[in-house]
Amino acid sequence: MLEGNSIGKNFVITCFGESHGRCVGVVVDGCPAGLPLSEQDIQKELDKRIPLKPEIVSARREKDVVEILSGIFNGFTTGAPICTLVWNKEAIPGEYDLIKDVPRPGHADYPVRIKYGSFSDYRGGGRFSGRITVAFVMAGAVAKKLLGLFGVEVLAYATEIGKVKLRTTPTLEEIRKNTYKTAVRCPDLESAKEMEEVILKAKKEGDSVGGIVECIASNVPVGVGEPLFDSLDADVAKMLFDVPAVKGVEFGAGFKAARLKGSENNDQYVIRDGKIVTLTNNAGGILGGLSSGMPILVRAALKPTPSIPKEQKTVDLSKMEETLIRVKGRHDPCIVPKAVPVIESVVAIVLADHMLRAGFMPKVLGGQK
Ligand SMILES: Cc1cc2nc3c(=O)[nH]c(=O)nc-3n(C[C@H](O)[C@H](O)[C@H](O)COP(=O)(O)O)c2cc1C
């Protein structure tokens, strides 16, 4: 578990690759044997990163084609590590020589340069690029397929971009049907249009905007999670913060809970159709670090894209002189649309890990043949 390249205890993922290196990939270790899994299952998730409108996301049409190198035999997982990767066909390393000594404000360039010196792969942010999240999506595809066998569904969508908020509370059906029909990955078509406009306006001004992604995990059984330091909310929050540009995470009522009275915040228990449920879900489906049986509801706040064409102050580290920077190249004027499948994947990965740990999933699916 050195150097922060791996996460998980029973469903362990190790990510490799750099933004402008040869490839980006992931090794998933701990996936039970007997899960039907094909390249198509992973490709389907990767394709969610392809911009519907390149002007809304980045001009780089990341047409990533997955290759599975190991862990699958006759269309099923074997229980061995699953290694998948995509080749970086569109990498243009030379494009980043200009920023080698001139850190972009808001990006990881400066602390990376001080920590790793000349050994850091600065091209496109190297290991600190949003492109690394391709690996999260590939591992997330495996996790989602696994969770699906146990009836768990994880769905994410944009609820806010710039200052434009999603106007309605979408149903699960609307989220499934509409999210990927819109360029901004928002299930309400009207709000989506306004979100697009706010991105285009920022882009025209050489600027960027941030936003909020909400994620719902349905049908998670009661009791997934471990006490204290391995609580489900802590692990979900940790991995969400591992997504570059995520600056805030909240569950259920989140920060609003601080302004409620106990009587307002408590989710009261009732019996519906013979099942214990709660009248509200201010807890976001997690109590005491364990799933409560209600949908897990988590939100991640993403900052505006740091690389912007607008002129900003920085320092030329080679001369130790103040200078100005306008970041060129293919950057997303808003990270949210591409982050939606990433957030979905991250939540699925943590849930798969915890469901295995809590014994809700066997090591060999369907028993040994
Ligand atoms: C899917 C995704 C795409 C991103 N695209 C860009 C981008 O085009 N340009 C950029 O400057 N930052 C982009 N970022 C954000 C940076 O990677 C991030 O801000 C940087 O690594 C610093 O990390 P921090 O914001 O978590 O502190 C992206 C992040 C994600 C998750």
Q: What is the number of the ligand 1 atom nearest to the C-alpha of 108?
A: 22
Band of residue 93 on the pLDDT scale cut at 50, 70, 90: low
User: CA angle at residue 201 from 315 to 105, to 5 degrees?
Assistant: 15
Instruction: Give distance in angstroms: CA of 122 to centre of ligand 1.
Output: 14
pLDDT above 70 for 312? yes
Question: 12-16, 56-60, 96-100: which has the highest mean pLDDT?
Answer: 12-16
pLDDT above 70 as % of the chain: 95
pLDDT in the model for residue 95: 61
At 354, list the tokens: 């915890």
Average pLDDT for 217-227? 97
pLDDT in the model for residue 63: 79
Which residue owns the Cα nearest ligand 1 atom 4?
130
Band of residue 367 on the pLDDT scale cut at 50, 70, 90: low
243 lines ligand 1 (CB under 6 A): yes
pLDDT above 70 for 56? yes
pLDDT in the model for residue 229: 96
pLDDT above 80 for 207? yes
Distance of alpha carbon 122 from alpha carbon 118, whole angstroms? 9
Which residue, chain included where needed, has tokens 């949908």? 295
304 lines ligand 1 (CB under 6 A): no
208 lines ligand 1 (CB under 6 A): no
pLDDT above 80 for 105? yes
Q: What is the number of the ligand 1 atom nearest to the C-alpha of 331?
A: 8
pLDDT in the model for residue 368: 54
Determine how many CB atoms are found less than 10 A away from the CB of residue 97: 10
SS3 content of the chain, % helix, strand, coil (to 5): 35, 25, 40
Distance of alpha carbon 110 from alpha carbon 78, whole angstroms? 43
Determine how many CB atoms are found less than 10 A away from the CB of residue 346: 31
Distance of alpha carbon 57 from alpha carbon 199, whole angstroms? 9
Residue 286 one-letter amino acid: I
Average pLDDT, the chain: 94
- In sequence order, what are the residues at sequence separation of 6 or more whose Cβ sits closer than 8 angstroms to the Cβ of residue 330? 58, 59, 60
Task: List the single range of 16-20, 88-92, 179-183, 331-335 with lowest mean pLDDT.
Answer: 88-92
127 lines ligand 1 (CB under 6 A): no
Instruction: Give distance in angstroms: CA of 6 to centre of ligand 1.
Output: 19
Distance of alpha carbon 345 from alpha carbon 329, whole angstroms? 27
Average pLDDT for 28-35? 98
Average pLDDT for 82-100? 78
Band of residue 355 on the pLDDT scale cut at 50, 70, 90: very high
